[in-house]
Amino acid sequence: MVKLIRSNLHKDRAVMIVFMLIIMIASMLMHTSLLINTYDEVYDSKAEKQDIPDAIEQVRTDDDISGIINGCDKISQYSVTDMILPAETVFTVNDSAKEITNDTALFYEYGTQGIAGEHSFVERDESVSGRKLYMNLGLARSNGINIGDRIHLKMDHYNGLEFTVAGIYEDLFNGVGMSYNSVMLDTQGFEQMKACAQKAADAGNTPQTQKLIYMRFVDGAAHKDGLKQLREAISAKGYYNYGYTMELARKAYVGIITLLVPFLSTFAVLMILICIIMIIFAISNNISRDIRNIGALRAVGHTAGQVRTSLTLEYLLIGAISTAAGTALSYVFFPMLEKAFLRGLTGIVCKTGFRPAATFGVIACILLAIVLTAFIASARIKKLHPATALRFGLQTNSFKRDHFPLADTKGGLNFLLAAKSAVQSIGQSISVFVVIVTVSFLTFFSLMLYYNTKIDSYKFQRLLQGDTADAYIEITGDEARRQEILKELRTYDGVSEAYSLCFQTATINGEDVDTYVSAEPQSIYCGVYEGKMCMQANETVIGGELAKRLGVGIGDEIKISNVGRQERYLITGFQQAVYGLGERVYLTDEGARRIGLEPSYSIIRVRMHEPSDEKVDKLLEKAKAYLGSECVSTDNYYRYQRSEENLPVFASGMINVVFILLSLVIVFLIIRLLLKTVFIKREKEFGIKKAMGFTSRQLRLQLSLSLLLPAISAALLGSVGGYFLVNPLFNAVFSSYGIKNSDLTVKPMMIAITALSVLALVFVLSFIMSRKMKKVAAYKLISE
């Protein structure tokens, strides 16, 4: 048995190498996706280890607020820290010309974290010279900032402050792109910044000094209830405030990264499917090739089961080596990925260590699939009588029909011979078909993702965050002035809409809901996938997940309340957005005021016709000039949406790179495998054809065309499948994020681009890789 396996392995070396590589990559991807999936667990473990608070709250005031906090019976422990939250901070690192602009950085004094305790430092060097700055890991890694770097800070009204990075730490509340980003300064530096902030406030600017409250709740109190109690108390005093619980923070930290998991594992599963096809194809070939040997083995007394077991063991052995190598590689690959990308995305260090459940789970699942496939694929042996096998052993060809007779079929010689070959080598054609369908689907997916994140990203951004605009302008002034400003902005070249959207919190059935309010609801595109936007005071649009949970539909009425006031609203539509998890509520300005909400529209959103970075910059310059000191800040959101700073765009870029690289690897390996098989099987035929006067180029062309013919229908099917299935796939992947009706842009042209690219790749690779044909003389081919 062992000898038989060794003999098969030797004969099928080329197939086995490709098979090993694909299984290795598949198991590596699957294992890596499982390691990424542990981020939730890692966050919780760090939270427990660092004993982080239950919630945090930012309050825009310089007043003493301890009395308010002490009045909240759900809070058991708290600490208050002074912090500065500039509208925009510009970091310059080591005198570089490149400026890093950030509007989420908040600053406080090192050592004043109170009950948050000492953050967990990843790197630290107290020996650095100058004023010390400590930065959270997410902000540092995503901007390439390291220990010892000199940082120049520039903010509105500040002349510039110089610091040296003395530490990089994990902050499990304010340390990731989707939240605020904490930066700690030494006492002197913070005092200087505070003085500057005070001067700015004295000059009539929006105050930047705030209080940062860390809190823990009494046992048994739900974190969101405890936070709600505090926020209501603070709001009642008229202070602007913003806060979130540890559970919400965790979602911000791990949400984006865990989105990679379904994509990586889907790809791994597709690769395993390719392997299954390869096993079926290879075993069928083996049986045909070795039919006489099989007959001889059966004749001397081996049972069909023994022969099948030997074939199965061959694949089991290769599978075991490959999956073990793949999972081992994953332990090498993951730390590299974690250090290079994931730290910047998540703001936390993830050292997974050995995960026996994930490792052995992946190995067992893949091996089970291999064993079952190999055993079923070799079922033919069971029905093969020894005498039949011996008698028909030499008969390797069973051509029954003359496909495409050359003299009677239209078309060139190379094309017709390729067509004959494609039809006669049905196993090869099926393998090509399956692989190319998969690769085309992935290519279409990558192309679609690229188009929707880099070229026309409106739908993608709306799917993520609901309403989005090209430019944001933060202003001061009352509602009358805001209306004047909107009127003015709408007259600017290229502006299609100018409006405001304000974030509030209301209550439905006793639960807080994120509530978005606008006085210009006709301009809001918040991802209404069913029904229409609310326009009247008694109308609302709610998230699909929320509607499902409440058991309400369009046309139903729901009660929305705020601080004891409750009103009924007619549901006019359902809305979706990944960030809102399908739980948002939209109201008109008038509708919000019915329950006592007091929306403040300090930010104006501007949407443009055919925007570009330059057009938005120009618009913002013009707006600043018009507004003067009324303009607090501006943001070219069009640029941000497409930049790598935008985490979903960054993650999509990573998915694209992974998909495209792996597609290339798969196509390369499969073509290599097929050509190896073809050369072995048809070597004599090539020799004869060369002797008859076919040139190497003609034979290579025929080979490439014979692969291309099944690939054409496969590429079309894969890309058409992509055209119709990518949005349903997004719905499935993001369903738990409230996505019900993904409407990402897919264009018929993408089908053509995908199919042509994949076909060009197949043709070019197969043509290049068949150059072996050139080196062999006709006589040698025949005589071999």
Partner 1 sequence: MEKQNKKKVLIKTEKLSKSFSVAGKQQHIIKNLDLEIYEGDFTVIMGPSGAGKSTLLYALSGMDKPSLGSINYCGQEITAMNDDALAVFRRSHCGFVFQQIYLVDSMSIMDNAVSTGMLTGQKKKALKQKALTLFERVGISSELAGKFPAQVSGGEAQRAAMVRALINDPEVVFADEPTGALNSAGVKAVLDVLTDINRGGQSIVMVTHDIKSARRADRIIYIQDGGIMGECILGRYQSGDKKRHEKIRAFLEDMGW
- The site for partner 1 (CB under 8 A) is made up of 395, 397, 399, 402, 405-408, 413, 417, 420-421, 424, 684-685, 687-698, 774, 777-780, 782
By beta-carbon proximity to partner 1, the closer residue of 387 and 406 is 406
CA atoms of 714 and 46, how far apart (whole Å): 48
Nearest distance in Å: CB 282, partner 1: 21
Which DSSP symbol is given to 175?
Answer: B
Nearest distance in Å: CB 26, partner 1: 34
Nearest distance in Å: CB 284, partner 1: 17
By beta-carbon proximity to partner 1, the closer residue of 248 and 680 is 680
| Residue 599: closest CA among 499, 503, 493 | 503
CA atoms of 439 and 437, how far apart (whole Å): 6
Element (H, E) at 474: strand 471-475
Nearest distance in Å: CB 407, partner 1: 4
Nearest distance in Å: CB 705, partner 1: 15
CA atoms of 74 and 220, how far apart (whole Å): 9
CA atoms of 737 and 735, how far apart (whole Å): 5
By beta-carbon proximity to partner 1, the closer residue of 126 and 402 is 402
Nearest distance in Å: CB 775, partner 1: 8
| Residue 183: closest CA among 285, 89, 304, 308 | 89
Q: Token pair of 116, please?
A: 């948050």
Helix axes 304-337, 356-377, angle to 10 degrees: 150
By beta-carbon proximity to partner 1, the closer residue of 404 and 458 is 404
CA atoms of 702 and 664, how far apart (whole Å): 22
By beta-carbon proximity to partner 1, the closer residue of 139 and 417 is 417
Nearest distance in Å: CB 30, partner 1: 40
Nearest distance in Å: CB 411, partner 1: 10
CA atoms of 405 and 413, how far apart (whole Å): 11
| Residue 393: closest CA among 402, 384, 401 | 384
By beta-carbon proximity to partner 1, the closer residue of 715 and 773 is 773
Could you count the other beta carbons within 10 Å of the beta carbon of residue 445? 25
Nearest distance in Å: CB 428, partner 1: 13
Nearest distance in Å: CB 694, partner 1: 6
Nearest distance in Å: CB 677, partner 1: 15
By beta-carbon proximity to partner 1, the closer residue of 503 and 779 is 779
By beta-carbon proximity to partner 1, the closer residue of 74 and 420 is 420
By beta-carbon proximity to partner 1, the closer residue of 426 and 535 is 426
Helix axes 291-299, 304-337, angle to 10 degrees: 130
By beta-carbon proximity to partner 1, the closer residue of 405 and 564 is 405
**How are strands ordered across the β-sheet holding 471-475?**
495-499, 603-608, 471-475, 631-636
By beta-carbon proximity to partner 1, the closer residue of 379 and 406 is 406
The answer for residues whose C-beta is within 8 angstroms of residue 543's C-beta and 6 or more apart is 574, 575, 576, 577, 580, 581, 582, 583, 584, 585, 738
Nearest distance in Å: CB 299, partner 1: 25
Nearest distance in Å: CB 313, partner 1: 33
CA atoms of 443 and 717, how far apart (whole Å): 12
The alpha carbon of 148 is separated from its chain's Cα centroid by a whole number of angstroms, namely: 32
Nearest distance in Å: CB 692, partner 1: 5
By beta-carbon proximity to partner 1, the closer residue of 422 and 560 is 422
By beta-carbon proximity to partner 1, the closer residue of 194 and 689 is 689
Q: Classify 59 as helix, strand or coil.
A: strand
The alpha carbon of 216 is separated from its chain's Cα centroid by a whole number of angstroms, namely: 33
Task: Please identify which residue in the block is written with the tokens 């909400």.
Answer: 597
Dihedral, CA atoms, 47, 49, 50, 53, nearest 10 degrees? 50
Nearest distance in Å: CB 773, partner 1: 9
The alpha carbon of 473 is separated from its chain's Cα centroid by a whole number of angstroms, namely: 29
Number of alpha helices (DSSP H) and beta strands (DSSP E) in the chain: 26, 23
Dihedral, CA atoms, 548, 552, 553, 558, nearest 10 degrees? -130
By beta-carbon proximity to partner 1, the closer residue of 132 and 690 is 690
Is residue 131 within 8 Å of 185, Cβ to Cβ?
yes
Nearest distance in Å: CB 776, partner 1: 9
By beta-carbon proximity to partner 1, the closer residue of 601 and 686 is 686
E strands, 549-642, are 557-562, 565-575, 585-588, 603-608, 631-636
User: 274-290 burial, b for 16+ CB within 10 Å, e for fewer?
Assistant: bbbbbbbbbbebbbbbb
Element (H, E) at 232: helix 223-236
Largest CA distance in the chain: 102
- Distance from first CA to last CA of the chain, Å, rounded? 30
Establish how many alpha carbons lie within 13 A of residue 192's alpha carbon, considering only the half-sphere containing its beta carbon: 16
Q: Classify 661 as helix, strand or coil.
A: helix
Nearest distance in Å: CB 399, partner 1: 5
CA atoms of 39 and 348, how far apart (whole Å): 9
By beta-carbon proximity to partner 1, the closer residue of 406 and 535 is 406
By beta-carbon proximity to partner 1, the closer residue of 32 and 702 is 702
By beta-carbon proximity to partner 1, the closer residue of 236 and 406 is 406
Nearest distance in Å: CB 395, partner 1: 8
Could you count the other beta carbons within 10 Å of the beta carbon of residue 739? 25
Write down how long the chain is: 784
| Residue 104: closest CA among 58, 150, 51, 64 | 58
